Amino acid sequence: MIPCPICGKHFKNKQALRAHLRFCKGRIQKQSDEIYFKALALDLIMYVRKTKKSKFDTSELAKKLGISSKTAEEFIEWLKKSKYYELLRFVLKCAQKQS
């Protein structure tokens, strides 16, 4: 039996697992979360550029982006692991030099 790495269901062979992965709800949810977080990252980059602010607490970030605190926490974790984090730091550095 081969387990799905996303949801944990077991399948008899690799072919059955591949067929399942095309429609696995966990995979689809993960992809939609990533698309949503990328859009939030762009909003945050624009906000940081405008305000030149480098530190946010979770509740402040949630309020500025219009999301829940739980989503803000998940977003921060995702952002730290993504390439958008370096882009955010670069934009902040440039914004601070302009002032």
Say what the pLDDT of residue 99 is: 65
pTM for the structure as a whole: 0.67
Which tokens hold the place of 13? Answer: 């062979």
Which tokens hold the place of 72? Answer: 């803000």
Q: How far is CA 73 from CA 2, 15, 31, 50, in A?
A: 33, 37, 18, 22
- pLDDT tens-digit readout, 1-56: 889 888 889 999 989 988 888 888 877 677 788 888 899 998 998 888 888 888 88
Domain carrying residue 56 = 2-98
Q: Please state the domain count of the chain.
A: 1
> Which is higher by pLDDT, 28 or 60?
60
Contacts of 54 (CB under 8 A, 6+ apart): 48, 92, 96
Which tokens hold the place of 53? Answer: 């602010």
Residue 40: CB atoms within 10 A of its CB come to 20
Q: Is the per-residue pLDDT at 69 higher than 70?
A: yes
